[in-house]
Structure 1
Amino acid sequence: MKLCFNQATTLENSNLYKDLEYCEKHGYDFIEIRTMDKLPEYLKKHSIDELVKFFQTHHIKPLAFNALVFFNNRDQKGYKEIIQEFNELMELAGKLGVKYVVAVPLITEEKILKQDIKTSCVNVLKELSDIAAPCGIKIALEFIGHPQATVNTFGQAYEIIQSVNRDNVGLVLDCFHFHAMGSRLEDLKKADGSKIFILHINDTEDFPIGFLRDEDRVWPGHGSIDLDGILSALKEIGFSEVVSVELFRQEYYKLDAEEVIKTAKETTVKVVSKYFDLQPV
């Protein structure tokens, strides 16, 4: 299994340039690039060609663009904007060698029937699949463990990608989101491991289902998530691709960015290495 860094972990105390330098120094294999803030910030002072050259001359590589946000159940204007944004991401992904685009479902206070959510997700993901296929890029649907997220459990997300039924459409399994809305290990154990493209590793403070928010995340192994149960289930179904550490904790944003990146690796390796071999750089 390869080790990846998600830029949310240093969202407020670093930038893409620093993240790349520190991740290279501390032996990460991949990085998930935040397209809504960190990539545009980088491109204000650097060119895309500089970023291409960096990846060509260093060990670390780009794993995913994170993220195409609120892709489903949009009005016609919003739908057109999503398709346009995705096409722009394809162009950049092709230049950089990005493997995946993470797709995040709509979060809304509007009450939408589950069947309407599924229909929208399936239709849009099929269209994105058609766009991405010639580029050799895959789409990873990330369910969000929040009561107002339209797709908020593993079981619901897995049913959607089964209906899409495309080789280049799968899932992100984020341990926090899995725990936060009570996703079931039984559902994970019945899944096809090849349909899980990325594992987001993290942990959380022990709040009830429905009350957890991203800022409650803590270092892997320092919280209440049944990481052993999730990791053993993933091993059982044949997943062994990439583990990406993703935290959003305000307390950690006050630390030096290199310290966060180093600690994130150490805590991740300690938890994950009980079940998977993390290949040394």
Structure 2
Amino acid sequence: MKICFNEATTMKKSTLELDLDLCNKYGYDLIEIRMDKLNSYLEKHSLDDLVNFFDNNQLKPYAFNALEFVTFRDMISYRKLKDDLVFLCEVGTKIKCKNIVVVPSFDVGYTKKQIKEETVRVLNDLADVAEKYNINLAFEFVGYPNCSVNTFEQAYEIVTAVNRTNVGIVLDCFHFHSMNSKIEELKKADPHKIFIFHIDDAEDLPVGALRDNNRLWPGDGVIDLDIILTTLKEIGYDEMASIELFRPEYWEWEPEKAIKIGKEKTETLIKKYFNVPQK
């Protein structure tokens, strides 16, 4: 299994350029590129600079993170969303980054049936665009009570209904744990529909109370990572594990410290269950 770095982990003190150099230094295989950091990078660098970096280094791009609140938009904001999608598809084609994370909306006030219908419709529409570029959409449920899609089983049902080769799911351990997603449903999942695996941990709060600031390094919290990783191994998923934390405490660290510890914590845990590429 390859080890990936999600740039949310160093969101406040780092840049795409610095994250690239440090992730390459500490032996990550992959990186998830944040859209805000990408835009800042392109203010000072060309896209060719990014192409040259990936062509000449071990580190490779895996996903863009993220197009957010994709459902229940008005016409104007939805048009802007599709413009952003085209931009990421064009960049992805050039740097060979094949996945884009898409996130559902919050506080929508609709029934689960209406949410499913809208989400299936939007994912199909966005997938039509992405398909022209040979790009995948990775749909990420968010384990907050007010998110329109907040459990693995709800998200997987939607992705199954979409039934397209370029639409899959993001499995984030934090979101899986925070709203009590069912491990039995993960055991039945097609591993090929899991496009991205986010690894993280959490403080010991009640169901529905966890927020991103409660994330911890993998192995430092209460999430049953053992059963998640064991289940992934059993169903045949072994593509990648991406460390993704939004903890303000870690944002205050020097980026090199966070990237180094993230690699050590993630690799130590993953190696108990999967083969990790040797550098």
TM-score, shorter chain, exceeding 0.5: yes
Q: Take 1:200 and 1:53, find their aligned partners in 2: how far apart are those partners?
A: 27
Which of residues 230, 233, 236 in structure 2 aligns to 1:232?
Answer: 230
Task: Count how many residue pairs are aligned between Structure 1 and Structure 2.
Answer: 279
| 1:265 is the counterpart of 2:263 | yes
1:238-265 per-residue CA deviation (whole Å, 9 max, x = no partner) reads 1111110001111112211111111001
Q: Which amino acid aligns with 1:97?
A: K
Match of 2:177 in 1: 179
Q: Which amino acid aligns with 1:101?
A: I
SS at match of 2:204: coil
Task: Give 1:130 shift.
Answer: 1.7
% of aligned pairs identical?
52
Task: Give 1:134 shift.
Answer: 2.7
Give structure 2 stretches of 5+ with no counterpart. none
Match of 2:165 in 1: 167
1:3-60 per-residue CA deviation (whole Å, 9 max, x = no partner) reads 110000000121111100000000001110001x211111121111111111111110
Match of 2:57 in 1: 58
Which of residues 178, 184, 188 in structure 2 aligns to 1:190?
Answer: 188
| 1:13 is the counterpart of 2:31 | no
Match of 2:27 in 1: 27
Q: Which amino acid aligns with 2:253?
A: L
Q: Take 1:71 and 1:58, find their aligned partners in 2: how far apart are those partners?
A: 33
Match of 1:199 in 2: 197
1:195-251 per-residue CA deviation (whole Å, 9 max, x = no partner) reads 001100000110111110001111100000000011111111111111100011111
Q: Take 1:217 and 1:26, find their aligned partners in 2: how far apart are those partners?
A: 22
Q: Take 1:179 and 1:240, find their aligned partners in 2: how far apart are those partners?
A: 20
Q: Take 2:154 and 2:80, find their aligned partners in 1: how far apart are those partners?
A: 25
Task: Give 1:77 shift.
Answer: 2.1
Q: Take 1:224 and 1:263, find their aligned partners in 2: how far apart are those partners?
A: 19
| 1:223 is the counterpart of 2:218 | no
1:93-137 per-residue CA deviation (whole Å, 9 max, x = no partner) reads 1111111000011122x4111111111111111122221223121
Deviates further, 258-267 or 79-88: 79-88
Give structure 1 stretches of 5+ with no counterpart. none
Deviates further, 212-221 or 90-99: 90-99
Task: Give 1:78 shift.
Answer: 2.5
Q: Take 1:113 and 1:220, find their aligned partners in 2: how far apart are those partners?
A: 34
Task: Give 1:81 shift.
Answer: 2.0
- Runs of 4+ that moved beyond 4 A: none
SS at match of 1:12: coil
Deviates further, 99-108 or 70-79: 70-79
Q: Which amino acid aligns with 1:31?
A: I
| 1:152 is the counterpart of 2:174 | no
| 1:82 is the counterpart of 2:81 | yes
Using structure 1 for the length normalisation, give the TM-score: 0.97
Match of 1:73 in 2: 72
Task: Give 1:76 shift.
Answer: 2.0
What is the alpha-carbon root mean square deviation over aligned residues?
1.0
Q: Take 1:252 and 1:71, find their aligned partners in 2: how far apart are those partners?
A: 28
Deviates further, 9-18 or 248-257: 248-257
1:147-201 per-residue CA deviation (whole Å, 9 max, x = no partner) reads 1111110000000000000011101100000001110101101111110011000
Q: Take 1:22 and 1:72, find their aligned partners in 2: how far apart are those partners?
A: 35
